[in-house]
Amino acid sequence: LISPCKKFEHPGFTLPALTFYQERVNISCQCANTSCPSDLQVTPTPTDVKKNQVDTRPDTIVLLWMWPFGSKHPLSCDEFNITGCHVTVDKSVYHQAHGVLFHHRDIGNTAMPTEPRPWFQKWIWFNMESPGNSGKIPNLDNSFNLTSGFRLDASMPMPYGSMEQLPSVKESFELPTKTRLICWVVSNWHERLERVKYFTELKQYINLTLYGRAFGKPLNDHDYENLVSSCKFYLSFENSIYKDYITEKLYRPMMLGTLPVVLGPPRENYERLVPPNSFIHVNDFPSPKELVDRLLYLDKNDNEYLKYFEWRKWFTVTRAKFAQEACCRACVYIRNNKGYQVFASINKWYWG
Ligand SMILES: *[C@@H]1O[C@H](CO)[C@@H](O)[C@H](O)[C@H]1NC(C)=O
Ligand SMILES: *[C@@H]1O[C@H](CO)[C@@H](O)[C@H](O)[C@H]1NC(C)=O
Ligand SMILES: *[C@@H]1O[C@H](CO)[C@@H](O)[C@H](O)[C@H]1NC(C)=O
- Counting from 1 in the atom list of ligand 1, the atom nearest the Cα of 22 is 14
Residue ranges of the domains in the chain?
32-158+320-351, 164-318
The pLDDT assigned to 27 comes to: 31
Task: Give bridge partners of residue 236 from the DSSP assignment.
Answer: 262
Ligand 3 centre and the CA of 16: distance in Å? 29
Distance of alpha carbon 153 from alpha carbon 103, whole angstroms: 18
Indicate the length of the chain as a whole number: 352
Distance of alpha carbon 79 from alpha carbon 343, whole angstroms: 30
Contacts of 78 (CB under 8 A, 6+ apart): none
- Counting from 1 in the atom list of ligand 1, the atom nearest the Cα of 80 is 13
The pLDDT assigned to 168 comes to: 84
Distance of alpha carbon 331 from alpha carbon 179, whole angstroms: 45
pLDDT tops 90 at residue 6: no
Q: Which pLDDT tens digit goes with each residue over 304-341?
A: 999 999 999 988 999 999 899 999 999 988 988 888 88
Q: Which pLDDT tens digit goes with each residue over 205-235?
A: 999 999 999 999 999 999 999 999 999 999 9
Q: Which ligand is nearest to the CA of 296?
A: 2
Ligand 3 centre and the CA of 320: distance in Å? 28
Is any atom of ligand 2 closer than 6 Å to the C-beta of 168? no
Phi, psi of 12 (to 5 degrees): 80, 0
Handedness of CA 197, 200, 204, 206 (dihedral sign): positive
Query: Which strand ranges, in their side-by-side order, compose the sheet holding 231-237?
Result: 209-211, 180-185, 231-237, 259-263, 280-281
Q: How confident is the model at residue 10 (pLDDT cuts 50, 70, 90)?
A: low
Residue whose CA is at the smallest distance from ligand 3 atom 4: 143
Ligand 1 centre and the CA of 81: distance in Å? 6
Distance of alpha carbon 326 from alpha carbon 65, whole angstroms: 12
Q: Residues 23, 129, 290, 304: which is the catalytic one?
A: 129
Phi, psi of 303 (to 5 degrees): -60, -40
Q: Does domain 164-318 have CATH number 3.40.50.11660?
A: yes
Span 164-190, average pLDDT: 93
- Counting from 1 in the atom list of ligand 1, the atom nearest the Cα of 81 is 1
Handedness of CA 100, 105, 111, 114 (dihedral sign): positive
Distance of alpha carbon 275 from alpha carbon 259, whole angstroms: 12
Residue whose CA is at the smallest distance from ligand 3 atom 1: 145
Ligand 2 centre and the CA of 185: distance in Å? 20
Helix axes 288-300, 194-202, angle to 10 degrees: 60
Average pLDDT, the chain: 85
Distance of alpha carbon 319 from alpha carbon 251, whole angstroms: 7
Residue at 15: amino acid letter: L
Ligand 1 centre and the CA of 338: distance in Å? 27
Is any atom of ligand 2 closer than 6 Å to the C-beta of 206? yes
Is any atom of ligand 2 closer than 6 Å to the C-beta of 207? yes
Ligand 2 centre and the CA of 301: distance in Å? 22
Residue whose CA is at the smallest distance from ligand 3 atom 12: 340
Q: Indicate the top mutation candidate among 62, 139, 342 to test ligand 3's pocket, ranked by most ligand atoms within 8 A of CB.
A: 342
Say what the pTM is: 0.86
Q: Give the residues surrounding ligand 3 with Cβ less than 6 Å away.
A: 49, 120, 122, 142-143, 145, 340-342
| DSSP strands (E only) in 99-179 | 99-103, 122-127, 146-149, 156-157, 161-165
pLDDT tops 70 at residue 54: no
Q: Which pLDDT tens digit goes with each residue over 269-314?
A: 998 889 889 999 999 999 999 999 999 999 999 999 999 999 999 8
Q: Is 129 a catalytic residue?
A: yes
